[in-house]
């Protein structure tokens, strides 16, 4: 009996020593981190911001979930707007910029073009070293120049018939979904997302995913899963650490998706290279312009433009750029298209003005004809509607830049190793720049109104050196989709979401719907 008691005592001593050792190691780690970051802490303490302890900071807000993150983030922003302010998340310092002059300084400064460490999540995944996530600025400049060739005026103009074809398919899909419902309403978020996916598949890759008609394409399915993995890491900041993420159950599924996406993209690249070589041989040096029998016209896809520079870009670089274009071209426009349709349904006066503009444009000739580039350019009011939607619902609500050396910004010396955060979601709803910012008002983008504001108060596609290269592509695509739906349907609020305030959004890698985006659609007679 005495021996048993002695063993228990020894065991308890062992446990106590183990706990004490862990506490000591943790204390040493914290001390080392604070010592190494003492300069950062000293400078950060001079910058205004919410209370938060080093190594904890605003981590509890992240734990509340991606929907509440927007609400709490907006409250913090409104409290400190007018000045930059700091927040701590664990041991990482973020400095949020609220003044458009400071934002312009950052986005146009050649020394501040490196994306923040959070973009490593994308680099370690299917985007790799694409122009959105790449850190090497020299390579970024070279790659961006070549990728821009796929978004030239001539190229994107040739995509309009594809946009219209898929917009008509979307119209039929939405009508069919509403017909099933007794109230003529439906969740438009997924159908719109699949329409934009089909468009980017045809225009970037020259591939039909059959996404709108229920096709289960391996690229589409695995792309969605990979993106969920990013969102999981962003909403759980401790998983930004690559080593910690490897221990999660999400990592294994993500790796499988990454392999399938890379395999598919490699197959497309190799097939296009073979087609390009055969075309060169058969045409004996004539300009390579392949005819797409399915689309019934001559067009060049983005991948063909990149492969024209395949001697300047490696196979891996082309793959990364293609995946980046696919994600960038699908995620951003899908949200904006859905939100524009939603806001038109809730603002009948605005929808009527859009319809009047469209009736005026299509009053000559065949009223049901497909839109031309010139038609889309005349849709000035619709463009203001789309921009106002982008103001309220920017697809990329937050983006960051890495500050690698101390710099004075907004009257404060900001420490090296900081992430500079720019928040279009909060900036574009700031009452310093927009009167009644919660009101949907396309007149915010009348020429005089735009001239009265600092240009960096509206940055849904970023700005400066690393702005989005697909802005013109996106605007033509969105105008085609929205105009096609308005020409054919009356859009009304759904009983599931009776006011704009009922639309629930959350911040993950992009702005997303929590439980869909419901609209009532009634065919025009």
Closest listed residue to residue 402, CA positions, set 139, 136, 142: 136
pLDDT at 354 exceeding the cut of 90:
yes
Stretch (H or E) spanning 52: none
**pLDDT value for 296:** 40
- Read off the pLDDT of residues 279-318 as tens digits, 9 standing for 90 and up: 766 655 454 444 444 444 456 788 888 887 656 778 888 8
Give 97's strand partners.
422
User: Residue 282's CB: how many other CB atoms inside 10 A?
Assistant: 8
pLDDT more than 90, % of the chain: 49
pLDDT at 453 exceeding the cut of 90:
yes
| Ramachandran category for residue 366: left, alpha or beta (phi over 0 → left; psi -120 to 50 → alpha) | beta
- Taking the model in full, what pTM does it have? 0.87
At a CB cut-off of 8 Å and minimum separation 6, what does 410 contact? 83, 84, 97, 99, 102
Tell me which of 333 and 297 has the higher pLDDT.
333
Give helix then strand counts, H and E, for the chain: 21, 13
**What average pLDDT is seen over the chain?**
86
- Read off the pLDDT of residues 176-212 as tens digits, 9 standing for 90 and up: 999 888 888 999 999 999 999 999 999 988 888 888 9
Class of domain 37-523: mainly alpha
Q: CB of 101 within 8 A of CB of 454?
A: yes
Backbone phi, psi, residue 195, to 5°: -65, -45
Burial 437-464 (b: 16+ CB within 10 A, else e): eeebbbebbeeeeeeeeeebbbbbbbbb
Rounded-to-10 torsion of CA 238, 240, 243, 247: 60
At a CB cut-off of 8 Å and minimum separation 6, what does 304 contact? 206, 272, 276, 288, 290
Range with the lowest mean pLDDT among 33-37, 131-135, 410-414?
Answer: 33-37
Per-domain boundaries in the chain: 37-523
**pLDDT value for 474:** 95
What is the secondary structure of 374-423 as a DSSP string?
A: HHHHH-HHHHHHHHHHHHHS-SS--EEEEE-S-EEETTEEEPTTEEEEE-
- Read off the pLDDT of residues 471-504 as tens digits, 9 standing for 90 and up: 999 999 999 999 999 999 999 999 999 999 999 9
Q: Is the dihedral of CA 460, 463, 468, 470 positive or negative?
A: positive
At a CB cut-off of 8 Å and minimum separation 6, what does 434 contact? 391, 428, 444, 453, 457
Backbone phi, psi, residue 98, to 5°: -120, -10
CA angle 496, 498, 504 (to 5 degrees): 70
Strand intervals (E) in 39-182? 85-89, 92-97
Q: Give the separation between CA 393 and CA 123, rounded to whole angstroms.
A: 26
**pLDDT value for 472:** 94
Range with the lowest mean pLDDT among 138-152, 255-269, 308-322, 455-469?
Answer: 308-322
Q: Give the separation between CA 158 and CA 153, rounded to whole angstroms.
A: 9
**pLDDT value for 5:** 56
468 marked among binding-site residues: yes
pLDDT at 520 exceeding the cut of 90:
yes
- Read off the pLDDT of residues 217-267 as tens digits, 9 standing for 90 and up: 788 888 888 888 888 887 777 788 888 888 888 888 888 998 999 998 998
Please give the average per-residue pLDDT across 393-404, as a whole number: 94
How many CA atoms lie within 13 Å of 424's alpha carbon, on the beta-carbon side?
25
- Read off the pLDDT of residues 32-50 as tens digits, 9 standing for 90 and up: 555 557 899 999 999 999 8
Closest listed residue to residue 37, CA positions, set 403, 401, 416, 421: 416
The DSSP bridge pattern shows strands 518-523 and 489-493 to be antiparallel
Tell me which of 90 and 79 has the higher pLDDT.
79
**pLDDT value for 22:** 55
Stretch (H or E) spanning 148: helix 137-148
**pLDDT value for 32:** 52
The model's confidence at residue 408, banded by pLDDT at 50, 70 and 90, is very high
**pLDDT value for 24:** 59
Q: What tokens were used for 233?
A: 């890491």
Q: CB of 287 within 8 A of CB of 318?
A: no
Number of residues written out for the chain: 525
**pLDDT value for 290:** 42
Query: 58: helix, coil or strand?
Result: coil
Q: Give the separation between CA 212 and CA 197, rounded to whole angstroms.
A: 9
Rounded-to-10 torsion of CA 141, 147, 152, 157: -150
Q: In what order do the strands lie in the sheet with 518-523?
A: 185-187, 518-523, 489-493
**pLDDT value for 46:** 94
Tell me which of 173 and 249 has the higher pLDDT.
173
Q: Give the separation between CA 137 and CA 113, rounded to whole angstroms.
A: 7
Tell me which of 86 and 303 has the higher pLDDT.
86
**pLDDT value for 295:** 40
The model's confidence at residue 58, banded by pLDDT at 50, 70 and 90, is confident
């Amino acid at each position: 009996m005495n021996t048993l008691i002695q063993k228990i005592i020894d065991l308890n001593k062992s446990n106590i020593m183990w706990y004490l050792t862990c506490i000591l190691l943790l204390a040493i780690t914290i001390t080392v981190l604070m010592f190494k970051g003492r300069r950062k802490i000293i400078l950060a303490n001079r910058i205004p911001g919410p209370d938060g302890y080093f190594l904890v900071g605003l981590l509890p807000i992240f734990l509340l979930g991606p929907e509440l993150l927007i609400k709490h983030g907006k409250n913090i922003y409104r409290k400190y707007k007018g000045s930059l302010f700091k927040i701590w998340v664990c041991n990482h310092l973020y400095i949020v910029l609220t003044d458009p002059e400071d934002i312009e300084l950052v986005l146009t400064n050649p020394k501040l073009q490196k994306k923040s460490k959070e973009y490593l999540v994308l680099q370690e995944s299917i985007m790799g070293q694409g122009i959105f996530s790449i850190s090497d600025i020299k390579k970024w400049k070279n790659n961006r120049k070549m990728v821009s060739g796929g978004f030239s005026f001539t190229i994107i103009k040739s995509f309009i018939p594809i946009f219209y074809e898929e917009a008509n398919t979307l119209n039929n899909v939405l009508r069919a979904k509403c017909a099933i419902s007794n109230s003529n309403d439906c969740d438009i978020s997924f159908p719109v997302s699949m329409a934009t996916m089909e468009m980017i598949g045809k225009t970037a890759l020259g591939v039909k995913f059959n996404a709108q008609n229920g096709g289960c394409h391996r690229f589409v399915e695995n792309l969605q899963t990979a993106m969920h993995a990013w969102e999981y890491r962003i909403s759980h900041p401790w998983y930004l650490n690559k080593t910690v993420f490897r221990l999660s159950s999400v990592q294994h599924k993500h790796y499988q998706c990454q392999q399938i996406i890379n395999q598919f993209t490699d197959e497309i690249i190799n097939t296009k290279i073979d087609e390009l070589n055969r075309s060169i041989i058969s045409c004996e040096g004539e300009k390579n312009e392949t005819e797409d029998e399915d689309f019934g016209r001559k067009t060049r896809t983005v991948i063909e433009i990149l492969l024209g520079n395949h001697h300047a870009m490696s196979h891996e670089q082309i793959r990364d750029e293609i995946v980046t274009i696919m994600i960038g071209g699908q995620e951003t426009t899908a949200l904006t298209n859905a939100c524009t349709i939603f806001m038109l349904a809730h603002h009948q006066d605005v929808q009527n003005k859009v319809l009047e503009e469209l009736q005026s444009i299509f009053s000559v000739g065949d009223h049901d004809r497909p839109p031309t580039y010139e038609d889309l350019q005349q849709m000035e009011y619709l463009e203001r509607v789309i921009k106002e939607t982008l103001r309220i619902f920017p697809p990329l609500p937050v983006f960051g830049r890495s500050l690698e050396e101390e710099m004075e910004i907004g009257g404060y010396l900001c420490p090296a190793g900081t992430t500079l955060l720019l928040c279009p979601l909060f900036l574009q709803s700031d009452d310093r720049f927009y009167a009644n910012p919660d009101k949907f008002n396309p007149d915010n983008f009348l020429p005089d109104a735009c001239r009265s504001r600092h240009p960096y108060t509206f940055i849904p596609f970023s700005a400066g050196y690393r702005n989005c290269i697909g802005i013109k592509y996106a605007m033509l695509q969105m105008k085609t989709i929205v105009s096609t739906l308005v020409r054919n349907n009356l859009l009304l609020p759904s009983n599931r979401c009776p006011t704009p305030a009922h639309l629930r959004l959350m911040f993950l890698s992009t702005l997303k719907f929590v439980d869909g985006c419901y609209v009532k659609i009634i065919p025009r007679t």
